[in-house]
Amino acid sequence: MVHAGLLILLLTPPAPSAPQEAPEAVVIEVQGAVSVDRAGGDGTEALRVGDLLEAGDLVAPSPGARTTLLERDGQPRRVEAEWEVDASGGAPAPVFLRTAELILRFAERAGYDTEKPSEPAGPTPRPAVPANGIPVRVLTPTLHWLSGQDVELYRVTLISSGQEIHTFDVESDTFAIVPPESALTPGEAYQWSVEAFPGDERSPSVRFRVLDREGMDRVAEEMRDLRQTELDPESVGRLPAVALFQEMELLYDALASLEELIEAGEEPVNPALLTLRGYLRAATRPPHSDGGTGGTDAP
């Protein structure tokens, strides 16, 4: 069961760091074996995505390896040969500060991770995502549900302000994209349910909301800025994108990008990212998957 307190823990923004307290760089990509010799005299260790670097740290890629760092000015630096991190002295850019603070915040909670929830064995279809009151950033979101039986037809019902506003049928699949003619309204809250049709009991409804127009515009602008600085949110810029999504409470987007980041790399990641994944998995866990009511009562 996902409790309101967990979401509060996830969504409470970190206290702003003073510029001089921020690290000099965040590791956002590692390809191959890359080591770092810490300036503080802690010895040489393998460099991982999510590591924070200080002035004087010596980064050393092995032959054919490379790493990409997000520096304090918000620009990426690709390192393919030995390079010593220098002190920039400038105020950190928002994208850098947001990413570094995410790592620092979850490093303090290290050691928490969860497995992906398994599908229920029962025959009644159950909504999976979106749920738990978590926002989505599109007007035609994809609705996913879990089902332990073979069904020829599902009926999905969308509810707003206690009224059924849209109903549509889906053959066989356990997901459906809200059709354009049923596009949702920015800033509005919705519920949805699913049933195996005809004759089966309708599932309990779960809640989600649509990001407001201002939020959608901000996401679009931030994604555009990342691409313009060669931080593609679908590749080298995944970690900055995770930080943005988490800050905006877009936990499904944050988890999807983080899973892709972890699965794409051949090298281990900083434990803080595994802790973050654990919290995101718990917060987005499908309702009823643990026999309880899931996160349907979370704010």
Question: By residue range, what is the domain housing residue 65?
Answer: 23-91
Of 73, 91, 109, the residue at which a domain comes to its end is 91
On whether both 146 and 192 belong to a single domain, the answer is: yes
| Cβ count near 183 (within 10 Å) | 14
Q: Confirm whether 70 is domain-assigned.
A: yes
Q: Confirm whether 203 is domain-assigned.
A: yes
pLDDT on residue 123: 67
Q: What residues contact residue 174 under an 8 Å CB cut-off, 6+ apart?
A: 125, 144, 145, 146, 147, 154
Of 66, 91, 116, the residue at which a domain comes to its end is 91
Per-residue pLDDT 10s for the chain (299 aa) are 344 444 444 445 444 443 345 799 999 999 999 999 999 777 899 999 999 999 999 999 999 999 999 999 999 999 999 999 999 878 899 999 999 999 999 987 766 655 555 555 456 788 999 999 999 999 999 999 988 777 788 999 999 999 999 998 998 788 999 999 999 999 999 999 999 876 678 889 999 999 999 999 999 999 999 999 999 999 999 999 999 999 999 999 999 999 999 998 777 899 999 999 999 998 988 766 544 444 433 22
pLDDT on residue 20: 40
Q: Confirm whether 148 is domain-assigned.
A: yes
pLDDT on residue 261: 95
Strands 66-71 and 44-46: unpaired
On whether both 86 and 40 belong to a single domain, the answer is: yes
Rounded Cα–Cα distance for residues 72 and 137 (Å): 28
Q: Confirm whether 73 is domain-assigned.
A: yes
Q: Confirm whether 236 is domain-assigned.
A: no
Q: Confirm whether 74 is domain-assigned.
A: yes
Rounded Cα–Cα distance for residues 154 and 87 (Å): 59
Q: Confirm whether 262 is domain-assigned.
A: no
Whichever domain contains 143, its CATH number is 2.60.40.10
Of 91, 112, 135, the residue at which a domain comes to its end is 91
Q: Confirm whether 115 is domain-assigned.
A: no
Q: What residues contact residue 110 under an 8 Å CB cut-off, 6+ apart?
A: 271, 272, 275
Number of domains in the chain: 2
**Bridge partners, 196 (sequence order):** 154
pLDDT on residue 149: 73
